[in-house]
């Protein structure tokens, strides 16, 4: 059974588990009502896998290649110590119990078919004006019954990651400013769903790697994604401060950083931390 078919079956099973209540549209309908989960009847997810052809096919225009940084090579191409996923989130604000994830995106560096995953997420609250101005994600865009809540996305995300995970190998998640932002937010959403982050998920903060590299490379200035992209000549497709464009930018920048640090894959693994270490940071 293909990955896409299994994904659709899983998604349909999740849809069918919700109570049948229809959201009634009428004149004067307010966002306060829309933000109440009890007003939902049926949810048509906008979560999607990017469907691409296999990298081994000749039509390269429709393919997503693997990313193999020079210093991440192993003695055997088939001896990858972990599945490496670059990810990014957009939120309603800075880390706080009242703020929520409103967009999630990832890309598997091994490339190939269905190597990306992205979705808007219904935060069940208003998106503040300052957040909407930063990422162009408004309350009107995400607070709709066809946009899944994080609790809707979670089982699909877990199944997707498991489908990409090499047997017996951990999953290595990489994000820029993961330590102070992305990972604590993800942990908070898992806890809100009474779920545990899988024990074999490890996390690396590429911002910490960039800081290490800056100590030996005086030409590096600011360390945000935009500045690093300009430094390395990496152009970003799509608006900045949106999850997938930022993921794609980091996918191009990460090999430059690991090359500068002469970081092997084992070295990158040594930089990884388990989720509970980030939980300690987020509660300091």
List residues with catalytic annotation: 241
Contacts of 131 (CB under 8 A, 6+ apart): 91, 92, 93, 102, 137
Of the candidates 204, 3, 34, the residue with the CA atom closest to the CA atom of residue 124: 34
Note every long-range contact of 10-16, with CB atoms under 8 Å and residues 24 or more positions apart, other chains counting: 10/155, 10/156, 10/159, 11/45, 11/47, 11/156, 14/152, 14/155, 14/156, 15/42, 15/43, 15/44, 15/45
Task: Assess contact for 204 and 173: CB atoms under 8 A.
Answer: yes
Which token pair is 53? 């052809």
CA distance 63 to 86: 18
Name the E strands within 143-223.
Answer: 171-175, 201-205
* Bridge partners (DSSP) listed for residue 205: 175
């Amino acid at each position: 059974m293909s990955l896409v078919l299994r994904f659709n079956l899983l998604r349909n099973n999740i849809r069918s588990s919700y109570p049948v209540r229809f959201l009634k549209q009428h004149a004067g309908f307010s966002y306060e009502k829309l933000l109440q989960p009890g007003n939902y009847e049926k949810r048509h997810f906008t979560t999607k896998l990017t469907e691409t052809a296999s990298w081994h096919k000749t039509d390269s225009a429709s393919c997503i290649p693997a990313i193999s940084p020079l210093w991440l090579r192993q003695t055997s191409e088939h001896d990858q110590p972990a599945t490496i996923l670059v990810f990014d989130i957009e939120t309603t604000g800075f880390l706080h119990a009242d703020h929520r994830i409103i967009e999630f995106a990832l890309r598997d560096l091994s490339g190939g078919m269905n190597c990306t995953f992205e979705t808007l997420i219904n935060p069940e609250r208003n998106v503040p004006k300052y957040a909407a101005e930063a990422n162009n994600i408004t309350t009107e865009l995400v607070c709709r019954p066809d946009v899944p809540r994080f609790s809707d996305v979670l089982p699909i995300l877990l199944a997707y990651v498991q489908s990409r995970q090499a047997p017996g190998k951990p999953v290595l998640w990489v994000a820029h400013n993961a330590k102070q932002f992305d990972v604590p937010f993800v942990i908070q959403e898992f806890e809100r769903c009474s779920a545990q982050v899988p024990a074999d998920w490890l996390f690396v903060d590429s911002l910490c790697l960039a800081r290490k590299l800056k100590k030996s490379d005086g030409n590096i200035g600011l360390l945000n994604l935009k500045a690093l992209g300009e430094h390395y000549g990496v152009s970003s497709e799509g608006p900045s401060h949106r999850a997938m464009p930022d993921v794609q930018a980091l996918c191009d920048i990460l090999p430059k950083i690991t090359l500068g640090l002469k970081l092997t894959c084992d070295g990158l693994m040594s930089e990884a931390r388990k989720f509970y270490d980030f939980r300690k940071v987020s509660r300091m």
